[in-house]
């Protein structure tokens, strides 16, 4: 049982639990490959300063790898979008965690948007309008249309339950 499941209320059911789409890692992986190729080329082809130059290039490569690949991987791994039968949750962070919960009963409308690239990858942006001033946009949600439909169904069920209670 994960951290998210332990934080649910006794009668709350987890319906969707996803990281952001893996396409967010394409840029960092591409940069890491380019940095590795550049560092290898410098070490192999440039004969300057001997071993000191190679150590400096290796250190710069390691810093670039941590900055451009490891940090985005950790951010991706710790960013979670979830939907339960009661709320929409978004969590992110390793050391400094932040999150937002939107009760299903407070949601006014649910929209999704995905451009051509998002459609190729099967991702998109989910837009949730609640009682707050601005709609919240959750970017790079995998299978955004399915999540949209599920959230809409839960919203409809919540409204029906409210009408039945009156």
Which of 6-10's residues contact partners 24+ apart within 8 Å by CB, and which partners? Answer: 8/84, 9/86
Query: Would residue 103 count as lying in a domain?
Result: yes
Of 52, 75, 98, which residue is a domain's last? 75
Q: Are residues 71 and 87 in the same domain?
A: no
Q: Say if residue 106 is in the same domain as residue 159.
A: yes
In a domain, 115, yes or no: yes
- Cross-strand pairs, 88: 83, 102
Range of the domain at 31: 25-75
CATH of the domain at 142: 2.30.29.30
Residue 166: the pLDDT is 58
Q: Return d(Cα 37, Cα 39) in angstroms, integer.
A: 6
Domain assignment present for residue 97? The answer is yes
Asked if residue 114 is part of any domain, the answer here is yes
Residues 60 and 111 placed together within one structural domain of the fold: no
Strands lying side by side in the sheet with 98-103: 14-19, 80-84, 87-92, 98-103
Query: Total structural domains in the chain?
Result: 2
| pLDDT by position in tens, the chain (length 166) | 466 777 788 888 999 999 999 999 999 999 999 999 999 999 999 888 889 999 999 999 999 999 999 999 999 999 999 999 999 999 999 889 899 999 998 898 899 999 999 999 999 999 999 877 789 999 999 999 999 999 989 888 877 776 666 5
**Which of 44, 59, 75 is the C-terminal boundary of a domain?**
75
Residue 155 lies in a domain: yes
- DSSP designation for 107: E
Same-domain check for residues 159 and 92: yes
Instruction: Report d(CA 2, CA 15) in Å as an integer.
Output: 14
108 and 151 part of one domain: yes
My answer on whether 83 and 159 are in the same domain is yes
Say if residues 95 and 80 touch (Cβ distance below 8 Å). Answer: no
Same domain for 59 and 93, yes or no, is no
Residue 40 lies in a domain: yes
- For residues 30 and 100, membership in a common domain is answered with no
Q: Model pTM? A: 0.82
Predicted pLDDT at 158? 74
């Amino acid at each position: 049982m994960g951290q998210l499941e332990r934080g649910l209320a006794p009668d709350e059911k987890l319906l969707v639990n996803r990281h952001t789409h893996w396409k967010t890692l394409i840029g960092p992986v591409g940069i890491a490959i380019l940095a590795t190729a550049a560092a290898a080329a410098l070490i192999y082809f440039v004969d300057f300063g001997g071993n000191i130059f190679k150590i400096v290039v290796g250190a710069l490569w390691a810093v670039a790898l941590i900055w451009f690949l490891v940090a985005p991987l950790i951010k991706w791994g710790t960013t979670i979008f979830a939907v339960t039968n009661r709320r929409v949750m978004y969590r992110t962070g390793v050391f400094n965690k932040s999150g937002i919960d939107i009760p299903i009963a407070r949601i006014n409308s649910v929209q999704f948007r995905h451009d051509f690239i998002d459609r190729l990858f099967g991702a998109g942006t989910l837009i949730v309008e609640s009682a707050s001033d601005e709609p919240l946009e959750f970017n790079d949600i995998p299978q955004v249309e399915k999540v949209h439909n599920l959230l809409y169904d839960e919203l409809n069920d919540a409204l029906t339950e409210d009408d039945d209670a009156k």
